[in-house]
């Protein structure tokens, strides 16, 4: 890919299309961050980057995002309660994705009305579209989005790029390493890493477990790694039987997320994660390691 050429043409194209103010859905991941930087170069203060705190992000992420984008007059919206409420009793994975996609767009529409923006810019990349079109999963920024949105146009500047190409653009834009080399994180967040209904208790547990996985796995440079909460199983603590949560650790290598293989981690690293998660996260009594490639599994659990 001609990265410099792509940057030049994309900035030009955004400038051409947007006649007025545009909202930008910012999650803090590499795709939406690159998208925000390109859009900001294109339309400057007509860009309204908005970060919705769904309560489904990683620990500390909302604070980090606010800090990183403070130069860009970032709008941050606390929608934790609405998301948790809407997800009550929703167990079916595609239903969950639709509920989240729907709520996202409704919140954006509200902000758009407030600031008078008629355009929505999103960081959708090529694999997101392929998987949604192919009926594999409704990625929340594609198939999970309702079609009756109230914007003049939804603009997706990265829609033809693979993840490694997005990273190249990030490097060419001199974005910090922690942004360009960031692990992918799905739009619906922890909701697709909790099997069944999303509750506050499960969220708290999976977020804490996830932080431990990220800390312990950093040295092995996975393409993506995280914790998921599977369900409950019997365990024993002291001399008491407990019915505790089961955490699955997932760590994969991949080029573009379309296929993936599990990481051959040393036993020591796995043992440390198991020890720390069961010791530091109350309510967890079992840790398993996922050794399934994609296909037949997908990277995320739902
Ligand atoms: P799957 O689970 O389909 O994931 O094997 C492939 C890659 O895509 C990410 N992913 C998403 N990204 N919105 C996103 O922006 C989504 O709804 C979504 N679902 C999955 C996933 O984390 C992996 O990197």
DSSP 54-104: -S-SPTTHHHHHHHHTGGGT-EEEE-HHHHHHHTTT--SHHHHHHHHHHHH
29 lines ligand 1 (CB under 6 A): no
**Which atom in ligand 1 lies closest to the alpha carbon of residue 163?**
24
- At a CB cut-off of 8 Å and minimum separation 6, what does 166 contact? 30, 31, 34, 125, 158
Q: Is the pTM of this model over 0.85?
A: yes
**Tokens read off for 275:** 């020890």
Ligand 1 centroid–CA 72 distance in Å is 27
**Which atom in ligand 1 lies closest to the alpha carbon of residue 125?**
15
CA–CA dist 158, 161 (Å, integer): 5
* pLDDT (0 to 100) of residue 128: 84
* pLDDT (0 to 100) of residue 143: 44
* pLDDT (0 to 100) of residue 147: 55
Residue bearing the CA closest to ligand 1, atom 14:
186
Ligand 1 centroid–CA 125 distance in Å is 10
Q: Say how many CA atoms lie within 13 Å of 116 toward its Cβ.
A: 3
188 lines ligand 1 (CB under 6 A): yes
* pLDDT (0 to 100) of residue 109: 85
Q: Which of 30, 139, 214 to mutate to test the pocket of ligand 1 (most atoms within 8 A of CB)?
A: 139
294 lines ligand 1 (CB under 6 A): yes
Q: Please list the pLDDT of the chain residue by residue as tens digits (302 residues).
A: 899 999 999 999 999 999 999 999 888 889 999 999 999 999 999 999 999 999 999 998 999 898 889 888 799 999 999 999 999 999 999 999 999 999 988 898 899 899 999 998 999 999 888 877 666 666 655 445 555 667 889 899 999 999 999 999 999 999 999 899 999 899 899 999 999 999 999 999 999 999 999 999 999 999 999 999 999 999 999 999 999 999 999 999 998 899 999 999 999 999 999 999 999 999 999 999 999 999 999 999 99
Ligand 1 centroid–CA 175 distance in Å is 23
Strands 224-237 and 240-253: antiparallel
Which backbone phi and psi does 68 adopt, to 5 degrees? -60, -40
**Tokens read off for 35:** 């998208």
CA–CA dist 279, 270 (Å, integer): 14
Residue 154 · residue 122 · CB < 8 Å: yes
Ligand 1 centroid–CA 253 distance in Å is 14
206 lines ligand 1 (CB under 6 A): no
Ligand 1 centroid–CA 131 distance in Å is 9
- The CA-CA-CA angle for residues 9, 149, 147, to 5°, reads 90
């Amino acid at each position: 890919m001609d990265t410099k050429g792509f940057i030049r043409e994309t900035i030009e194209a955004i400038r051409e299309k947007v006649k007025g103010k545009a909202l930008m859905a910012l999650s803090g991941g590499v795709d939406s961050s690159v998208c925000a930087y390109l859009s900001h170069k294109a339309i400057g203060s007509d860009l309204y980057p908005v970060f919705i705190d769904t309560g489904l992000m990683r620990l500390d992420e909302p604070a980090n995002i606010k800090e990183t984008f403070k130069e860009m007059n970032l709008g941050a919206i606390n929608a934790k309660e609405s998301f948790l409420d809407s997800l009550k009793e929703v167990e079916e994975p595609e239903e969950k994705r639709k509920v989240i996609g729907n709520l996202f767009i409704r919140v954006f529409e509200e902000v758009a009305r407030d600031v008078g923006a008629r355009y929505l810019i999103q960081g959708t990349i090529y694999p997101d579209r392929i998987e949604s079109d192919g009926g594999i999963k409704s990625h929340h920024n594609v198939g999970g989005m309702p079609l009756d949105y109230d914007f003049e146009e939804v603009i997706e500047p990265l829609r033809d790029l693979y993840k490694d190409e997005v990273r190249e653009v990030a490097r060419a834009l001199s974005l910090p390493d922690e942004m360009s080399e960031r692990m992918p994180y799905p739009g619906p967040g922890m909701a697709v890493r909790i099997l069944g209904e999303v509750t506050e208790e499960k969220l708290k547990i999976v977020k804490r477990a996830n932080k431990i996985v990220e800390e312990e796995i950093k040295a092995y440079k996975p393409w993506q790694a995280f914790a998921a909460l599977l369900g409950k199983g019997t365990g024993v603590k002291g001399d008491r039987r407990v019915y505790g949560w089961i955490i699955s650790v997932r760590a994969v290598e991949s080029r573009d997320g379309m296929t993936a293989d599990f990481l051959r981690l040393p036993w020591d690293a796995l043992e440390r994660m198991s020890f720390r998660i069961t010791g530091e996260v109350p309510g967890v009594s079992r840790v398993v390691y996922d050794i399934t490639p994609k296909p037949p599994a997908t990277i995320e659990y739902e």
